[in-house]
Amino acid sequence: MLNSTLTHGLTDAKNFLRDSCPALQNKIYFNYGGQGPLPTHSLEAITNSWGRIQQLGPFTTDVWPYIGAELNSTRLRLAQHCGVAPHRLALSENVTSGCVLPLWGLPFEAGDRLLISDCEHPGVVAACVELARREDLVIDTLPVKHFRGDATTTNTGVLAQLEQALHPSTRLVVLSHLLWNTGQIMPIARVAEQLSDHSRKPFLLVDAAQSFGQIPVAEAAAASDIYAFTGHKWACGPEGLGGVALSERVLSEGQPTLIGWRSLRDESKADLNASAPFHSDSRRFEVATSCVPLLSGLRSSLDLLDREGSADQRLATIRSKSAALWDELQRIEAITTLLDAPPASGLVSFQIAGERNPADWVQRLGNDGIWIRDLADPACLRACTHVCTTAEEIDALLQKLRGSTH
Task: Give the pLDDT of the chain (406 residues) as one tens digit per residue.
Answer: 454 444 334 343 446 788 899 999 999 999 999 999 999 999 999 999 999 999 999 999 999 999 999 999 999 999 999 999 999 999 999 999 999 999 999 999 999 999 999 999 999 999 999 999 999 999 999 999 999 999 999 999 999 999 999 999 999 999 999 999 999 999 999 999 999 999 999 999 999 999 999 999 999 999 999 999 999 999 999 999 999 999 999 999 999 999 999 999 998 888 888 889 999 999 999 999 999 999 999 999 999 999 999 999 999 999 999 999 999 999 999 999 999 999 999 999 999 998 878 999 999 999 999 999 999 999 999 999 999 999 999 999 999 999 887 6
Architecture of domain 52-303: 3-Layer(aba) Sandwich (3.40)
Distance of alpha carbon 372 from alpha carbon 369, whole angstroms:
10
Whole-number Å distance between alpha carbons of 7 and 18 = 13
Length of the chain in terms of residues written: 406
| pLDDT given at position 295 | 98
Element (H, E) at 95: helix 95-103
CB-based burial label for 392 (10 Å; 0-12, 13-18, 19+): middle
Give, in order, the Cα–Cα distances in Å from 234 to each of 22, 210, 242, 278: 16, 7, 12, 33
pTM for this model (two decimals): 0.95
Let me know: does 151 contact 344? Beta carbons within 8 Å. yes
Domain boundaries, the chain: 4-30+309-405, 52-303
Give the three-class secondary structure for 175.
coil
Q: Report the pLDDT value the prediction gives residue 15, as an integer from 0 to 100.
A: 66
Task: Please name the fold of domain 4-30+309-405.
Answer: Aspartate Aminotransferase, domain 1 (3.90.1150)
Coil, helix or strand at residue 320: helix
Q: Using alpha carbons, select from 126, 128, 130, 123 the residue that is nearest to residue 96.
A: 123
pLDDT at 381: 98
136 conformational bin, left if phi > 0, alpha if psi -120 to 50, beta if neither: left
- Please tell me the predicted confidence (pLDDT) of residue 8: 39
Q: Tell me, what's the pLDDT at 405?
A: 73
Tell me the residue type at 296: S
CA distance 80 to 65: 22
Hey, which residues does 388 pair with through a beta bridge? none
| Short-list 384, 20, 21, CA closest to 210 | 384
Q: In 74-89, which positions are buried (b, 16+ CB within 10 angstroms) versus exposed (e)?
A: bbebbbebbbbebbbb
Query: By the 8 A CB rule, do 42 and 240 touch?
Result: no
Torsion sign, CA atoms 392, 393, 398, 403: positive
**Cα of 190 vs its chain's centroid, Å:** 19
Answer yes or no: are the C-beta atoms of 177 and 146 closer than 8 Å. no
User: In whole angstroms, how far apart are CA 302 and each of 36, 69, 215, 243, 246?
Assistant: 12, 17, 13, 14, 21
Give the dihedral sign, CA 228/120/27/339: negative
Under 8 Å CB-to-CB from 115, ≥6 apart: which residues? 140, 141, 142, 162, 165, 166, 167, 170, 172, 173, 174, 202
Q: Which of 134, 88, 127 is nearest to 108 (CA)?
A: 134
- For the chain, first and last CA: distance in Å? 17
Beta bridge partner(s), residue 142: 117
Nearest to 282 by CA among 96, 69, 68, 72: 72
Q: CA torsion, points 124, 130, 133, 137, in degrees to nearest 10?
A: -20
Q: What is the pLDDT of residue 406?
A: 63
- Residues 322 and 259 sit within 8 Å (Cβ to Cβ): no
